[in-house]
Every structure is written in C-alpha cells, then in structure tokens.
Amino acid sequence: MRINKEGYKIIGISGLLCLLIWVFFYHLLVNHAAQTLLWVGTAFILLFWFFIVGFFREPRRVRIHDADLVFAPCDGRVVVTEVVEETEYLHREMLQISIFMSITNVHMNWVSVGGKVEYFKYHPGRFLVAWHPKSSTENERTTTVVRMNDGRQVLFRQIAGLIARRIVSYMKIGESVEQNSVCGFIKFGSRVDVLIPKDSELLVEIGDATVGSQTPIARLSKK
C-alpha cells in the first residue's frame, strides 16, 4: 500500500506519540502484573496508529479520459444534486453535485475534467459539518475553475468539515491538468462540490457511492 506524501508528517508524529504512550503504560503496569491490560492497551494503540496510516493510503487507479464525462473527484457518497446560482466566479446557474467523504474514505482528490486552470482561490472560514448546506459558502475551502478545450467551464470546490482542518490543493492558475489526475488532499473528513453546466445529464442520485476518478457522475451536453 502506498502512502500519500501529505501523511508523512502526521504519521511520524502520531507514531512517536503512540510509542511514548505505550512506554508510559508499560512502566505503569508491568510491575503490577497487569499483563492482560497491557496487551489490550498495546493492541488499541497499534490499531489507532494503523488507522492513521490507512487514512493516508494512496490507491493505484486507472486514469480514464472521456471529454464528455465528468468523473467523481473523490471517494464518498453523493449528498447534493441541484441547480444553484454560482456567485463567486461564473455568476450563472450551474448543476451542483456534492460528495461527502467520511473518515474511512480515501481522501485524495482528482480533477473531474481536463483543461486549463482558469481560476483558483483559497477561502478561510468556519468548520461546519460538511453536509451542512452553508458549508459550501461559509467553511474553509478552495475554489478552482477548469476551462476545458471546448470552452466549457467546470468549478471544483474542496470544503473542510467539522474535523478536517487542512486542505491541500496542487492547482495553479494557467496550468494544464489532465482529467482524473490527482489535484489535492483533504485531511480527516470533508466534502467536494463539482459545479457543471446545468443542462448536463446527471448520472448519479443522492445516496450513491462514488469512487474518485472512476465513477462518472454526469455527461456534458454537446455544444
């Protein structure tokens, strides 16, 4: 299993803390013949650390290219499919598809469409639960707009949640990005919004599970 580079520091620090906690409990319990409690504590500490390691896992996935399809930007479950008025950059009605990631999901993010990064902005903000309707506009987030080769624009928004306090984006204005290439990472529970032309064909429903870079979530209409 590969580990995403965003996890190296956290894995190292958490591993050191787990080791110090284990040493403390070892010296506390070993002289009191509490061997069973020591083994239980050791198992719990190891499971906790392996969970941290697993959170930053980086799966190997086939990169799919289809300019007519919009792919899921992350693993998770669809929580919103609705037409909204986009007011930050595009200033028009767009079809919004939102995917919530639980702490057990892979938290890498992929670019839903290929093209050139036209707009990028980081927004500091609140940490409402990621499925809250206001999280898209009030939480800490990044907004990216990719202009496809045919001129169509797709907006991609990474949103921090109640637990997530660190959004990582690799997107830079003016750079060309390939469809389903890795574009960022959100640590510990979060949400991703994709806003596409409102006349697109929706391919998912609320409650559907998605696999990042593999699940088609919409089909763009022909220009």
Helix (H, G, I), strand (E, B) or coil at 82: strand
Catalytic residue check, 190: yes
pTM: 0.80
Active-site choice (190, 200, 213, 221): 190
Structure tokens at 29: 């319990």
Among the listed ranges 25-29, 88-92, 151-155, which one has the minimum average pLDDT value? 25-29
Q: Give percent above pLDDT 90 in the chain.
A: 51
The 3-state DSSP composition of the chain as helix, strand, coil percent (nearest 5) reads 25, 35, 40
The mean of the pLDDT values for the chain is 86
User: Would you tell me the crossing angle of helices 8-29 and 35-55 to the nearest 10 degrees?
Assistant: 180
If pLDDT is split at 50, 70 and 90, which confidence band does 132 have? low
Render pLDDT for 10-29 as a digit per residue (tens, 0 to 9).
778 888 988 888 888 777 76
Judged on CB neighbours under 10 Å (0-12, 13-18, 19+), 87 is: exposed
| Residue 36 Ramachandran class (φ > 0 left, ψ -120 to 50 alpha, else beta) | alpha
Contact, 154 vs 146, CB < 8 A? yes
Of residues 75 and 58, the one with the higher pLDDT is 75
